[in-house]
Structure 1
Amino acid sequence: MLSATPRRLSPAASRDAALAAAQALLIESGPPAVTLKAVAARIGRTHANLLHHFGSAEGLQLALIGRMTTDITATIRDAVLRDSSAPPDPRRLVDLVFDAFDGGGAGALASWMILSGNRDALDPILAAVHDLVDDLAAGVEPAGRPIGAETLQLVLLALGDALLGAAMARALGLPRDTARACAASLLAQATPD
């Protein structure tokens, strides 16, 4: 009988597999499910292997939030800069940001990490968003458009919606996407004609 030994992966491939498994666990079961043991079991590796790559569960979670943030900011950057001759569609931008925080699990993970005492959890998000705003503000007409304020508003609305949006909409008898519609309306009002 052949033994089922895990195939050898490069360190980068092993790390990527662990982060993909961690994100799947996050989406399926929430932030508390993102543990070294659960991720190791999901990818057929040992707890020690993941300790080598991430140092701790907190390190895994920080790497995951960093990866998720990099992915979503790249998507938003591409969506905005794809056709710089036309203004970006406010609803499309809102949906990208809200989907990252809610459907992608970034909002729940960031909140959980902060509430667990890990104040550094926001560092990858803040750095990536800062870089994105700098990129988008370069050459924007009219000069001085409040992209930073628009970004702050959009991110806070998306985070709040990820955490309380469904329950609040249900309690108020509103359609689930009301917060998205409000955010798109605010963003459209801030967009110059």
Structure 2
Amino acid sequence: MTSRKRLTPEESRSSALQAARDLLIETGPQSVTLKAVAGRIGRTHANLLHHFGSASGLQKALAEHLAKTVCETIIEAVHATRAGLGSAREVVDLAFDAFDREGAGALTSWMLLTGNEDALNPIISTIHELVDEIAPGEADHSGDSMHVHKDTLSLVLLALGDALIGGALAKSLGLPRDTARERAAANLEASLAEHHQA
């Protein structure tokens, strides 16, 4: 009989979150349970209960993990764009991929449908932190000057909507699958150009 490798609490938690993310992407948010994650990483249900408290706690931790990972990537892309090394489309693709391929859209809809809206708080607060880092002075202003806040709102809503219904809607309208991404990139480019002229 082989003994399981002893993991630090951080390693155990990280391993569980990675397994939860994989389950989310492979089979959907309904499969992100303590039992399923425990089985995937070879740990006990009690071990995960210790780390997360409940399935809801696991899902909330997963939302926070996804949000931080995605926002860190988007921050890098925004800095690259500002330095002339990237494009608005790259930022858009990262946001859309986060909600579609990384599972944040499915997790968001699942949290809303199951009445676990507080699990969305990490996603919302992390996006807010992202905006504050990109445009620290905007928080002191209001109205039309908050262009980064408005651009972020539009981008996130488009990315979420596209993840949930974009494929079917584009197909029914006879449009290419990436039409929403193209529109989001065009909107972001126009906003950036307008801001630079101001």
How far, CA to CA, are the matches of 2:48 and 2:153 in structure 1?
A: 34
Match of 2:147 in 1: 146
Counterpart CA distance in 2 for 1:24 and 1:122 is: 19
1:59 alignment counterpart: 57
- Map residues 161-176 of structure 1 onto 2, 5 A cutoff: 161-176=162-177
2:26 matches 1:25: no
Shift, 1:45, TM fit: 0.3
Q: Residue 37 of structure 1 corresponds to which residue in structure 2? A: 35
User: Retained in 1: the 8 A contact 2:71–2:130?
Assistant: yes
Output the amino acid matched with 2:5.
Answer: R
Q: What residue in structure 2 maps to residue 187 of structure 1?
A: 188
Q: Alpha-carbon deviation of 1:83?
A: 6.0
Kindly indicate which of the two structures has a greater share of residues assigned to helix.
2
- CA 1:85–1:139 in structure 2 vs 1: closer, same or farther (change >3 Å)? farther
Q: Deviations over 1:139-177 (max 9, x none)?
A: 68xx93511010000000000000000111111111111
Q: What are the superposed Cα offsets for residues 118-155 of structure 1, whole Å, 9 maximum, x if unpaired? A: 11022101111111111111368xx9351101000000
Residue correspondence of structure 1 range 84-103 to structure 2 within 5 A: 84-86=82-84, 89-103=87-101
Say yes or no: does 1:5 pair with 2:6.
no
CA contact (8 A) 2:38 2:48 kept: yes
Identity of aligned residues (%): 56
- Taking the TM superposition and a 5 Å limit, the aligned residue runs for 1:101-116 are 101-116=99-114
Give the AA of the match of 1:179: A
- Greater shift, 21-30 or 166-175, is seen at 166-175
After superposing the two structures, state which structure 1 stretch, 145-154 or 44-53, moved more. Answer: 145-154
Using the size of structure 2 for normalisation, the TM-score is 0.90
Distance 2:133 2:51 in 1: 31
Tell me how far apart the structure 1 counterparts of residues 90 and 156 of structure 2 sit (CA, whole Å).
14
Which stretches in structure 1 are left out of the alignment for 5+ residues? none
1:178 counterpart residue number: 179
Asked if 1 retains the 8 angstrom alpha-carbon contact of 2:81 and 2:88, the reply is no
Say how many residue pairs are matched: 189
Distance 1:159 1:169 in 2: 15
SS in 2 for 1:174: coil
Distance in 2, matches of 1:15 and 1:133, equals 28
Aligned to 1:70: 68
Deviation at 1:87, TM superposition (A): 8.2
TM-score, scaled to structure 1:
0.93
Deviates more, 1:118-127 or 1:15-24: 118-127
Instruction: Summarize the alignment of residues 124-139 of structure 1 with structure 2, pairs less than 5 Å apart.
Output: 124-138=122-136
